[in-house]
Structure 1
Amino acid sequence: MTSAIPTPTAVLIPGTGSDEVFVRAVFARPLAAAGVGLVTPPPPRAGELARGYLSLLDTLAGERDEPILVGGISFGAHLAAEWAVRNPGRCAGLLAALPAWNGLPGQAPASLAAKLSADLVARDGLEPALSVSVGGVPGWLSDELSRAWRRHGDGLAESLRVAAGHPAPTLDELRALAVPAGIATCTDDPIHPTKVAYEWASALPNSAVQETTLTALGEDRESLGRATVLAWLRAR
């Protein structure tokens, strides 16, 4: 059974290979400052990653009479936007941090990176793949990957492949979504191009973009959450 949801509520979904621990670190205090409660479900297992989250959003929205805020980071933002497009009457707003592509992933950097990581995990195993993947990355990112990848366990490779191949909403689909949408982008992040964030914003009828940096995120997890929430408040 799912627990009762506070009012008003945002349901936030993590990115590829990440987890709810990181989402809470990013969003809990910025949303609380805006008077919004936060629900951060853990990732469904492996091949159920996308279907599981979309189904869970249906369940959580069905527990309330009022629409819910939905959002997430990277792939989590894609899933939240996909659900919002399908359920505009049940959605109060969108919080999209670091969208990575629109429509089919194609050669999007985040999709290619997830595929490479999946292949590495499948070929070498989790711990050797993790050792390679954290080499040369900032300490905070190494810590986040080490915790989250181990929590995904033997389902990690499949979940990475699900995320890498799953379409995001098209720009035409986003044009039909009139809820307030806050979008955050890190201008120094090559995996989540700032160009994509502005493409989403140009399509969404009621949106705003707030820029921040990965450097700031490394020093303060909440910097990304503040940027996203501020953009949403500006779009209301």
Structure 2
Amino acid sequence: MSLRLNCDLGESFGSWKMGLDEAVMPHIDQANIACGFHAGDPLVMHKTLALAKANNVTIGAHPGYPDLVGFGRRSIKATADELKAAVLYQVAAMDGMAASQGMTLEYVKPHGAMYNDMMADAAVRKTILQAMAEYHRPLVLMLQSTPHAELHLEEAETAGIKLWFEIFADRCYDDDGKLLARTKAGAVHTKDKMLAQVKQLKEQGTVTTVSGHTLVLRADTLCVHGDNMDGVNAIQEIRELISL
């Protein structure tokens, strides 16, 4: 299985700093860059794009709900038109800023609560697919790999959108294919379990669920997190593991 590494970056805002973007960027393939609604600002966006360009990293827009205080982790009950416009606005901003540096935006990965709502609610997912279908050029949608991948492929095909399925390196999976709730013990893997999960995915195309069941998941890209040095070190080991 050929896997790419993706990471959420560009999430600082003004004098508030988050993440170790400079340390992470050399080890990943895809940068999901915040668009200013849940995190990021114009200068951070510009600098993060430049950093991605210097490291030959593919860039994606990482739109979220307009919720800087809650870091986009709170659901907002928007109408379909409001949600569609919010996605288009953020994608267009990232696309334009990328073009100004001679770069090409390749994909979209919603952030936080918007991502969770997209996976849990078919109506939200349909609206995001419609927003991307209305964009002036094709972009890929990145979404979580689940046992419902075939359904999601059908939905995307109807909208004329290509999908990339992602798996989370550091999260435990529930038996239904969803991520185990963070409120439950073992929801976030230790480093050893994380590396074991990546190795299993790479070699067998499966993950082991919280109850010990084997779950087959389609995967194009692996989400990693590098907001601390332990995370950055783990990313380097994952990079070596999937390159074998």
| TM-score range for the pair, normalised by the shorter chain length | 0.3 to 0.5
Which protein, 1 or 2, shows the higher relative CO under an 8 Å CA cutoff with sep ≥ 6?
A: 1
Q: With the length of structure 2 as denominator, give the TM-score of the two structures.
A: 0.33
Q: With the length of structure 1 as denominator, give the TM-score of the two structures.
A: 0.34
